[in-house]
Amino acid sequence: MFCKKCGNQIKDGQQICGKCGASVTENNQVNTNQVNNTDTSGLSSIGNMKENVAALLAYLSATIISFIPVSSIIYFAILGPILFYVLEKKSKFVKKHAAQAIVLYVSIIFLLVSSAFLNSLIVNPQNVLNNPYSYLSGYSIIAFIARVISLIFAIFSIIAMVKAYKHEYYSIPLVGKLAENIFKQK
């Protein structure tokens, strides 16, 4: 099938054109309500923005927060996706991507903290026993591996952002399945 408004190819069962956002009826006619901007299908309940933009912002909010040059700000990066997940009431598309962004950034935070802790145990185990916060300093091969894995997560996050903006469902390997299991999505 092809969209009557823009000519984009539409998959069977797809309700909205991924290119122009026009609502598609059963006989492949463009819904006239969409042209008149009175149809709310494909819109998020968060500020009536398009689903694809809201899904993109769920990832982007966490990414932007994590790049603020304050040492412990990354721990607050998950607040953006959490807000999108909690505030979204009608779009499963936005909720799926927000849930995936939550799991992705919790995984990154867990990876960074655990690698710093393991690094301190290897470098100076007695110091960790005396000062439990000493695991936040030091650098070793474990920290290097954690940074490489974080870079891989960042690449998957960028891919997910692009796919979300194109209004495509994308499941990040391991993270997507984990998000579906945790948030009980189908």
Can you tell me the distance from the alpha carbon of 136 to that of 20, in angstroms, rounded to the nearest whole number? 48
Both 61 and 146 in a single domain?
Answer: yes
Both 77 and 102 in a single domain?
Answer: yes
Both 16 and 89 in a single domain?
Answer: no
Both 64 and 8 in a single domain?
Answer: no
Both 31 and 92 in a single domain?
Answer: no
Instruction: Note down the domain range covering 52.
Output: 43-183
Both 36 and 48 in a single domain?
Answer: no
Q: Hey, what are 123's tokens?
A: 């470098």
pLDDT recorded at residue 159 = 92
Can you tell me the distance from the alpha carbon of 67 to that of 77, in angstroms, rounded to the nearest whole number? 9
Q: Hey, what are 182's tokens?
A: 């945790």
pTM of the model: 0.64
Can you tell me the distance from the alpha carbon of 97 to that of 140, in angstroms, rounded to the nearest whole number? 34
pLDDT recorded at residue 25 = 64
Both 75 and 7 in a single domain?
Answer: no
Percent of the chain with pLDDT over 70: 70
Both 94 and 153 in a single domain?
Answer: yes
Sign of CA pseudo-dihedral 129, 133, 134, 140: positive
CB-neighbour burial class of residue 69 (10 A; exposed 0-12, middle 13-18, buried 19+): exposed
Between residues 33 and 138, the one the model is more confident about: 138
Both 36 and 59 in a single domain?
Answer: no
Question: Mean pLDDT lowest for which of 19-23, 26-30, 172-176?
Answer: 26-30
Q: How distant, in Å, are the alpha carbons of 27, 72, 75, 121 from that of 144? A: 55, 18, 19, 15
pLDDT recorded at residue 162 = 92
How many domains does the chain contain in total? 2
Question: Mean pLDDT lowest for which of 48-62, 72-86, 114-128, 168-182?
Answer: 114-128
* Local structure of residue 121 (DSSP, 8 states): H
CB-neighbour burial class of residue 127 (10 A; exposed 0-12, middle 13-18, buried 19+): middle
pLDDT at 28 over 50: no
